[in-house]
Amino acid sequence: MTKKTAPDILRIAVAQLNPTVGDISGNLAKAREARADAGRQGADLVLFTELFLAGYPPEDLVLKPTFLKACERAAQDFANDTADGGPGVIIGTPLKRKSGTHNSIILADGGKILAERYKLDLPNYGEFDEKRVFQAGPELQGPVNFRGVRLGIPICEDIWGDVAVCETLAESGAEILLVPNGSPYYRAKIDVRHQVVIRQVIECGLPIIYANQLGGQDELIFDGASFAIGADKTLAFQMSQFEEAVDVTTWKRTSDGWVCSEGPMSKIPEREEADYRACMLGLRDYVNKNGFKNVVLGLSGGIDSAICAALAVDALGEERLRAVMMPYRYTSKDSLKDAEDCARALGCRYDIVPIFEPVEGFLHTLTQLFEGTKEGITEENLQSRARGTILMAISNKFGSMVVTTGNKSEMSVGYATLYGDMNGGFNPIKDLYKMQVYALSRWRNSHVPPGALGPSGEVIPKNIIDKAPSAELRENQTDQDSLPPYPVLDDILECLVEQEMGVDDIVARGHDRATVTRVEHLLYIAEYKRRQAAPGVKITRKNFGRDRRYPITNRFRDRG
């Protein structure tokens, strides 16, 4: 018998796709389509992302036995497909074994499952909670043989932590490392990923292919941007960000190991474009994956609702957004004009529903109860709650999801009304501070992001960007009546939330101590509101909800 020689060329397709959590049959169909595409491009092997068949993260679905059985059936069916002589596959799926339920991959070729590998390092920080539902692999298993090439297959966190998985695989004879990932987006995350992989390449001396999931899953955005770092520590290929793709890369065996000779080299978006596209993708997937036909939002003439309207049109199309202006006695003529101009620029449906009668009705009903009290925030909030009720009524009547429009600055300090402007199903700007909202609005007026369904040109009227922000709940009101200027507020909040800095350190940056302690106090006492807020896109390293879990009942204050 003639001994089969190892190949000198290996064509590896990276399937950077958008699965849906729990849609096992749909994810399998997507995987089959991608494998067929890769086969037509001449691929030998297709690398899918972490837990692809289940969707990532599946959270407590993993605790459901029928879910695990359905995932394993899909994995076996996909393995059976490889009997057709086409590409082999590496695909992620949960697997229940004697050692526990594992975050796993299977390698299949020739109609058979050739190997299983289990994730060793389970992340349990920030947005990750895998130790709740998975057990770590019982031990590090060595490379797998695929058509004569020894592949190491660590899974996501296995290359992020301190466990020497890559180095051990290299010592066990691996020639290339292929890493399926479910790495969520935050600003500048691509640079972090590159540095993680470069560090591992230095340790193990092998090229590493990093395949990352795409798509929105509740608050999390998976931005794709799959890539490889060669053994020489240079970028071997770079796939696009925020776009599905099945790209075939060609690897050649040389005297110095495997080298990528062909692959994409996509341009990665700059900061504002990346944030905007993340918000757009998150809104689109939340609406579409949850089966909403259209959305509705309150268009006030302010910048937050304007950018949310632009995101909705870009994500879903003008025909799927209904914008509603709900004026009261304090609504300025500028706001009426600005809201109409914004809706006209975006091409969406625009309705005007005055709230004078319902607000006056509430006030009349409460006259006796409120007798002898001073008019103030309570009466202002009635306006917001009347608007929230109208939007929810439209949602109930027409099946439209309400898009809520509060930014992170407001949510941080409680400058929002429960059961009023906080009403809604999803908030695309929940993790953007106010000054970031301004920056993205200016960027959108000069650019149309790839995949956007909205028009070019100025979609957020200049007057909305230039005028002083106001809730318009009383005469001549501006946000700065109650809050520090937004550049000051945002910097203090970033120090408190993202960096967990103490008051003394924030004051040392040049901020007034009384202002800092007041903002800290407002941040803590608004926790109960945030617990009742709609989910929204994660943009920063530490969003409210998954990343920052402070108690509602909390008497701690930093007094040095």
Query: Is 410 one of the annotated binding-site residues?
Result: yes
Q: Band of the pLDDT at 467, cuts 50, 70, 90?
A: confident
Taking domain 272-531, whether its CATH number is 3.40.50.620 is answered by yes
pLDDT of 549: 81
**Rounded to whole angstroms, what are the CA distances from 135 to 44, 57, 360?**
32, 15, 58
- Note the pLDDT of residue 1: 45
Q: What is the pTM of this model?
A: 0.93
Compute the distance between CA of residue 21 and CA of residue 89 in angstroms, rounded to an integer: 20
Position with higher pLDDT, 118 vs 5: 118
Of 132 and 469, the one with more pLDDT: 132
> Can you spell out the DSSP letters for 482-511?
TS--HHHHHHHHIIIIIS---HHHHHTTT-
- Tokens matching residue 353: 């529903």
Q: What is the pLDDT of residue 21?
A: 95
Tell whether residue 125 is among the known ligand binding residues.
yes
463-469 mean pLDDT: 86
| Structure confidence by residue, pLDDT tens digits, 512-541 | 999 999 999 999 999 999 999 999 999 988
**457 annotated to a ligand binding site:** no
Give the integer Cα–Cα distance in Å for 165 and 142: 10
pLDDT of residue 246: 97
Instruction: Say if residue 406's pLDDT is above 60.
Output: yes
Q: Is 299 annotated as a binding residue?
A: yes
**Alpha carbon distance 460, 159 (integer Å):** 43
| 298 annotated to bind ligand | yes
Confidence of residue 477 (pLDDT cuts 50, 70, 90): low
What confidence tens digit (pLDDT) does each residue in 42-58 have?
Answer: 999 999 999 999 999 99
The phi and psi torsions of 84 (rounded to 5 degrees) equal: -80, 0
**Residue 304 labeled ligand binder:** yes
Residues 6+ away with beta carbon under 8 Å from 200: 159, 166, 167, 177, 208
Q: Check pLDDT > 80 for residue 469.
A: no
Q: Which residue has the tokens 């003639």?
A: 2
Q: What percent of the chain has pLDDT over 70?
A: 97
Residue 318 has pLDDT above 60, yes or no: yes
Q: Where are the domains of the chain?
A: 10-268, 272-531
Residue 481: pLDDT over 70: no
Confirm or deny that 405 is annotated as ligand binding.
yes
Is residue 480 predicted with pLDDT exceeding 80?
A: no
- The class (CATH top level) of 10-268 is alpha beta
Catalytic residues: 50, 119, 156
CB burial readout 497-519, b (16+ within 10 A) else e: beeebbbeebbeeebeeebbbeb
Q: Is the model's pLDDT at 279 over the cut of 70? A: yes
- Mean pLDDT score, 301-320: 97
Q: Say yes or no to pLDDT of 115 above 90.
A: yes
Q: How confident is the model at residue 470 (pLDDT cuts 50, 70, 90)?
A: low
CA dist., res. 354 & res. 369, Å (int): 25
CB 398 within 8 A of CB 268: no
Q: How far apart are CA 265 and CA 102, in angstroms?
A: 34
Q: Is 41 helix (H, G, I), strand (E, B) or coil?
A: coil
Q: Does pLDDT of 265 surpass 90?
A: yes
Residue 100 assigned as binding residue: no
The predicted pLDDT at position 128 comes to 82
Predicted pLDDT at 474: 60
With cut-offs at 50, 70 and 90, classify the pLDDT of residue 468: confident
Rounded mean pLDDT of 261-289?
96
- Residue 189 known to bind ligand: yes
Q: pLDDT, tens digit, for every residue of 193-209?
A: 999 999 999 999 999 99
C-alpha span between 51 and 90 (Å, rounded):
11
Q: Binding residue per annotation — 381?
A: yes
Chain mean pLDDT for the chain: 93
What pLDDT shows up at residue 482? 73
Q: How confident is the model at residue 320, as a pLDDT?
A: 98
